């Protein structure tokens, strides 16, 4: 709506007020458009989702936090960006962005299906589960990372526990899809450890560190050169999915590995994993403010929550659009969204794609 506003008469150069002449009133005409000054409360936030499936060799997002610059760029043009650890984790590196929600892949799929809502928080109480199979020195390295995160970043890591049995992680490449995957032999031990943290300390988010088999350098040379599949990522998703499915709280995983031999020629996309002894810092930072997951039912309240119907657009690799979350958004059952399939994020194999 356009409005007109009439100003007061001009003053003379000498400071006096000129004699009023009704037929020649000096006026200042101002034209304003009220829509330009509309309060923010009348403007709905623009929400976008960025998905890069895990362990499929995405050109961007298939390595060590190399999709983080994409997330940073998107965060400057949307009000809210929802993404997952595979995009936002970069081992010892991370980038805090107040308008990005760090959502585990299983939870993101349920959110897309309209079954769960996301409730932003000020801060979570973070617990840490360490695999009993981690050697003493490697365990100390991880606990020192926790001390550093608490002392230097003020992160609310309240307690850690060690599983009662080594988890015994196994990993492999699916011969049909080319996607990395795997399993843990003692998943019950992991769930008991998470349950004990929730019961004793009331943690609202959990970081898991499992001991992974050490690879021969020849097996991961392609990955370190920016050409291969992330052999760890698939089973990392299995681990976090298990926790979120059973306890409904944010979870992310960091693998425990012995340091690899120095690689003099390393692809920058993989270099973040060479910085320190652990991949834990980014996980703790992400979980500290990750939104809580609320199961939607007739008794739940969606107040102050973000729903799938709030999503305006989804961005993902052009040839990895078959995951549960992508299909749910594309179905239009929960919302009408724009799906942007980017060739820049393309994967090496046609894949349905698991989200971590």
Give the contacts of 288 (CB within 8 A, at least 6 positions apart): 123, 124, 126, 155, 156, 205
Alpha-carbon distance 246 to 240, whole Å?
10
DSSP H helices in 202-258: 221-224, 233-247
Per-residue pLDDT reduced to its tens digit, 55-75: 777 788 788 888 999 999 999
First to last CA, the chain: 47
In contact, 112 and 329? CB cutoff 8 Å = yes
| Mean pLDDT of the region 41-46 | 78
What pLDDT is recorded for position 42? 62
For residues 214, 184, 195, 300, the Cα torsion angle rounded to the nearest 10 degrees is: 120
Query: In the chain, where are the structural domains located?
Result: 2-41, 47-345
Identify the band that residue 31 occupies on the pLDDT scale cut at 50, 70 and 90.
very low
Half-sphere exposure of 44 (CA within 13 A, CB side): 9
Which residue bears the tokens 């944010």? 250
Banded model confidence at residue 181, pLDDT cuts 50, 70, 90: confident
* pLDDT, tens only, 118-173: 999 999 999 999 999 999 999 999 999 999 999 999 999 999 999 999 999 999 88
Helix (H, G, I), strand (E, B) or coil at 210: strand
Where does the pLDDT of residue 344 fall: very low under 50, low under 70, confident under 90, or very high at 90 and above?
low
How would you classify the pairing of strands 47-50 and 80-83? parallel
């Amino acid at each position: 709506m356009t409005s007109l506003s009439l100003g007061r008469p001009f003053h003379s150069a000498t400071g006096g007020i000129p004699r009023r002449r009704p037929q020649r009133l000096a006026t200042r005409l101002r034209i304003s458009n009220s829509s330009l000054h509309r309060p923010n409360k009348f403007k709905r936030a623009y929400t976008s989702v960025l998905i890069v499936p895990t362990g499929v060799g995405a050109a961007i997002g298939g390595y060590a936090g190399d999709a983080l610059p994409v997330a940073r760029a998107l965060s400057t043009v949307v009000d809210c960006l929802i993404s997952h650890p595979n995009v936002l984790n970069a081992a010892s590196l991370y980038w805090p962005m107040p308008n990005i929600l760090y959502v585990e892949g299983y939870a993101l799929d349920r959110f897309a299906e309209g079954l769960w809502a996301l409730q932003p928080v000020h801060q979570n109480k973070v617990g840490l589960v360490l695999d009993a199979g981690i050697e003493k020195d490697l365990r100390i390295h991880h606990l020192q990372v926790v001390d550093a995160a608490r002392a230097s970043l003020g992160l609310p890591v309240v307690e850690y526990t060690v599983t009662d049995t080594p988890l015994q992680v196994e990993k492999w490449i699916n011969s049909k899809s080319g996607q990395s995957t795997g399993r843990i032999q003692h998943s019950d031990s992991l769930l008991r450890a998470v349950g004990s943290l929730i019961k004793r300390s009331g943690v609202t988010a959990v970081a898991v560190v499992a001991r992974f088999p050490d690879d021969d350098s020849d097996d991961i040379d392609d990955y370190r050169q920016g050409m291969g599949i992330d052999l760890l990522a698939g089973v990392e998703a299995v681990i976090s999915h298990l926790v979120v499915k059973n306890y409904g709280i944010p979870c992310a995983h960091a693998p425990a590995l012995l340091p690899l031999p120095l690689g003099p020629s390393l692809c920058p996309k993989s270099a973040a994993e060479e910085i320190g002894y652990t991949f834990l810092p980014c996980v703790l930072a992400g979980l500290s403010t990750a939104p809580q997951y609320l199961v939607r039912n007739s008794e739940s309240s969606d107040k102050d929550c973000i729903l799938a119907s709030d999503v305006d657009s989804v961005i993902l690799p052009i040839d990895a659009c078959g995951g549960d979350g992508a299909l749910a958004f594309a179905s239009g059952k929960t919302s009408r969204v724009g799906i942007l399939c980017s060739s820049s994020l393309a994967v090496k194999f046609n894949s349905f794609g698991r989200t971590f």
